[in-house]
Amino acid sequence: MQVTAIIVAAGRGTRAGGDLPKQWQMLRGKPVLEWTLGAFKAHADVHDIVVVMHKDDIATGRGNNLCPARIVPGGETRKASVLAGLNACPQGTDRVLIHDAARPLVSASMIDRVLTALETQEGAAPALPVTDTLWHGADNGVTGLQDRAGLFRAQTPQGFHLAPLLAAHEASNADATDDVAVAKAAGLHVAIVPGDENNIKITHPGDLARAERLMGQQMDIRCGNGYDVHRFGPGDHVRLCGVEIPHRRGLQGHSDADVGMHAVTDAIYGALGQGDIGQHFPPSDPQWKGAASHIFLEHAVALAGDSGFAVSNVDCTLVCEYPKIGPHQPAMKAALARIMQLDANRISVKATTSEKLGFTGREEGIAALATVTLVKA
């Protein structure tokens, strides 16, 4: 199964207010389109993304963080734009998810529901049953009632098998407000999967503020811990949290034995549910012998970014009798901040002795503990 998401962002709608089309309006510090794209980028079952843009927006699109999406120019109508997107799907695509750029709150579970239904269905689309009473009206008056039984509010992403949907688009001349209409016209069956009230389409003024409120409620925070120990051996310095400290002994290890940085790195892998340093940089691999530990930490931070997370804060505790850590704390915070591209006030490095108890008390080695929080960027 090779899934491509097609994000339809070619509209010029400015009903949401402001001079910019809604997909370019700012939501929590980045354009709506970037949020929408992020939801598909972060989904493990979505392999490629095509963004269909108005030709006047393509330069803006290339200036934003839309990688690795393919950007293609849209057509005069929504249907023409979707067709351009379908024709731009990478070789091997067999399923497509077509999604409105103005629905930035689409969840991973919504994408899952559509893809799962596509295993057995020709098409699948989310929708919510209409629960409000419906009226017909004219001239500010009610002229009649509409039975709401069997009525649904359609959402996206709408999922299809690529070849039959492409054939349906090519066979149909009429414009359509969504792809279910095109598929139905070609005789395809489209299953309804449960929609999500939070999957709002930014259309009117006030929708951006509503999306912001919903995002606040959906904040995704991950916490991870890390623990590491390295033993003392011959040497004249130790490296702790990126800072070289003169000492009458050194720390032994396959890499540079920076026990503090290893604990922080493992905490990030832990928060991501992505194993530990040993898994990503096996000690059995000679290329990591003597490696500088910032390589590991940079990898973990990049992996968090690839998964849509940013490090929010770090707390690292070093456990040793000697060397004394206090004088080096500011330099350690600065070193971690530089490597993690994080504000130093979001980093804590502290130290304790173990009251001369245990292996750290007997000065056989140094232990480090770290806690890290990640937030969905």
| Minimum CB distance to Mg ion, residue 81 (Å) | 52
Q: What is the distance between the alpha carbons of residues 21 and 52, in angstroms, rounded to a whole number?
A: 14
Do you find a cis peptide bond into 205, omega within 30 degrees of 0? no
Residue 191, beta-bridge partner list: 124
Q: Closest by alpha carbon to 191, among 259, 108, 121? A: 121
Contacts to Mg ion by CB under 5 A: 228, 262
Q: What is the distance between the alpha carbons of residues 241 and 294, in angstroms, rounded to a whole number?
A: 9
Choose between 133 and 279: whose C-beta lies nearer to Mg ion: 279
| Minimum CB distance to Mg ion, residue 285 (Å) | 15
Cα separations in angstroms, 228 against 11, 73, 256, 365: 53, 52, 13, 10
Choose between 125 and 263: whose C-beta lies nearer to Mg ion: 263
Choose between 261 and 342: whose C-beta lies nearer to Mg ion: 261
Choose between 152 and 227: whose C-beta lies nearer to Mg ion: 227
Q: What is the distance between the alpha carbons of residues 170 and 179, in angstroms, rounded to a whole number?
A: 12
CA 180 to chain centre: 28
Is there a contact between 195 and 155 (Cβ–Cβ < 8 Å)?
yes
Write the CB contacts of 137 (distance below 8 Å, at least 6 apart in sequence).
Answer: 143
Q: What is the distance between the alpha carbons of residues 259 and 239, in angstroms, rounded to a whole number?
A: 8
| Minimum CB distance to Mg ion, residue 228 (Å) | 4
SS3 category, 102: coil
Q: What is the distance between the alpha carbons of residues 50 and 104, in angstroms, rounded to a whole number?
A: 16
Q: What is the distance between the alpha carbons of residues 114 and 86, in angstroms, rounded to a whole number?
A: 18
Choose between 93 and 293: whose C-beta lies nearer to Mg ion: 293
| Minimum CB distance to Mg ion, residue 263 (Å) | 8
Choose between 61 and 242: whose C-beta lies nearer to Mg ion: 242
Residue sitting closest to Mg ion (CB): 262
Q: Within a 13 Å sphere around the CA of 210, how many CA atoms are in the beta-carbon half?
A: 15
Choose between 48 and 228: whose C-beta lies nearer to Mg ion: 228
| Minimum CB distance to Mg ion, residue 230 (Å) | 6
- DSSP one-letter code for 232: E
Is there a contact between 313 and 347 (Cβ–Cβ < 8 Å)?
yes
Choose between 70 and 254: whose C-beta lies nearer to Mg ion: 254
| Minimum CB distance to Mg ion, residue 259 (Å) | 6
| Minimum CB distance to Mg ion, residue 339 (Å) | 16
| Minimum CB distance to Mg ion, residue 265 (Å) | 9
